[in-house]
Chains A and B, each alone.
Chain A
């Protein structure tokens, strides 16, 4: 049971991984139990071969699972941040020029560590700017708007 012992050793040595990721030896044991229930190799218990096979599958699941989880949580965090940034931009527009401290006071939960990354996102994307300690919306003018014909031009033309 080379794989089994190896997994046990790895699981006990990497305590943080065990806390955050899947417990490979236990997952493998569950897989082995399910395999044993539908396919017996004539042995009364779970065979060494079946256990090795289950450990390989559990190890793959653990690694793949960690990758999928990482990808999904990153994109979920990004979506949450973008949503919060849109809501903050709306508040800044409603209040006009405002200091970050006063802006955060408009929220039920006023924790700085919660709102700082959102404001940072708005500044980084160029939607607001910070001038003399005040936050103000950057009003973007559509390109070539001045060159578009006005109603008066159309009437006179």
Chain B
């Protein structure tokens, strides 16, 4: 898979590497313009990585997270099918969480990490001491964090579920998807729960800390610097209703939405099944690498290079 895909078009080029290949291949399979699929791939990448990398840039105060909000107006189901391909690696990687560790083991791991961190803080004299060997405390913490496998993807949550999932999230990062029914339930509900979900989505895009509202005397802690990407794929009528909403919380969320529709691409070519399977294995591997970094507790602060 060393060949790079370059395709002239509206925005210039689709780009090289795995993202370029996936968008071109899916565009060809479903007769869609790769440009409708490209932002979805970016959102999936952001969803895989979570908080593990942020960018320093002159256009944003503080560190900019990779969270994106994308809405796809899908009249005939083609975008929905393409989205399934893009999200499948994340689904597979997330399932590992449920298969490999039970809830009680996860609780034990969390306690063990806390105690190791406490000991490490007490005995470490300098901030620069960060021995990566597996026997060292940081090495042990990293290995345990990998086993925790934070929740990465929530599909079609009910109103209020998003806040609930984020309040118990291990690393405060999530990719959430909405289809016709779940989206309509969210903005038709007009409940406090639904409004809080929209507020949290907005905060997740900015990476701003979200105060969870008090529930029956219980006051949960804030969700610190959440990173939430959102993918909406629904019928044009439902999306139109969302975008026309006069509710301030919905309107603020809509301002962050990249809204795309089924734009026609070149007519479908015959599919080379071997090449297609190889490509999606490559896509899955790329996602896995990012997820591994996230599970290891990485916190990259990327800057613009001198040429930028």
Contacts and interface: CB of A to CB of B under 8 A. Distances in A.
Interface of A: 1, 4, 8, 19-22, 25-27, 29-39, 43-51, 53, 56-57, 59-62, 64-65, 68-69, 72-73, 75-77, 79-80
A38 B286 contact: yes
Interface residues of B, number: 54
B243 A72 contact: yes
26 contacts: A8-B59, A33-B53, A33-B55, A34-B43, A34-B45, A34-B66, A37-B45, A37-B53, A37-B66, A38-B19, A45-B302, A47-B305, A48-B307, A56-B11, A57-B11, A57-B38, A57-B39, A64-B260, A65-B257, A68-B261, A69-B243, A69-B259, A72-B244, A75-B240, A77-B244, A79-B240
A33 B307 contact: no
A62 B11 CA distance: 11
A60 B10 contact: yes
B241 interface: yes
A9 B143 CA distance: 46
Contact of A26 (B60, B261, B307): B60
A72 B39 CA distance: 20
B67 to A, nearest CB: 7
Describe B's contact surface by its main secondary structure: mixed
Given A34-B41, A68-B73, A76-B244, 18 more contacts: A30-B42, A30-B66, A32-B55, A35-B15, A37-B45, A39-B18, A44-B303, A45-B305, A48-B305, A53-B12, A61-B258, A64-B35, A65-B260, A68-B261, A73-B240, A73-B243, A75-B237, A76-B240
Interface in B46-87: 46, 49, 53-55, 57-60, 64-68, 73
Interface in B242-261: 243-244, 255-261
B240 A48 contact: no
Nearest to A65: B259
Contacts of B54: 33
A80 B19 CA distance: 39
B194 interface: no
A133 B216 CA distance: 55
A60 B34 CA distance: 13
Contact of B308 (A51, A61, A69): A51
Nearest to A47: B305
B16 interface: yes
Nearest to B54: A33
Given A30-B42, A33-B66, A53 B308 contact: no
Contacts of B55: 29-30, 32-33, 36, 46
Interface in B289-308: 290, 302-305, 307-308
A112 B191 CA distance: 27
Contacts of A80: 244
B236 interface: yes
Greatest chain A CB density within 10 A among B13, B236, B303, B305 is at: B305
B176 interface: no
Greatest chain A CB density within 10 A among B53, B257, B308 is at: B308
A44 B64 contact: no
A39 B19 contact: yes
Contacts of A53: 12-13, 15
A68 to B, nearest CB: 5
Contacts of B60: 26, 29
Contact of A61 (B18, B39, B45, B303): B39
B239 interface: yes
Contacts of B66: 30, 33-34, 37
B304 A26 contact: no
A41 to B, nearest CB: 9
Contact of A30 (B17, B64, B290): B64
Given A30-B42, A35-B19, A37-B49, A46 B73 contact: no
B290 A38 contact: yes
Greatest chain B CB density within 10 A among A4, A60, A61 is at: A61
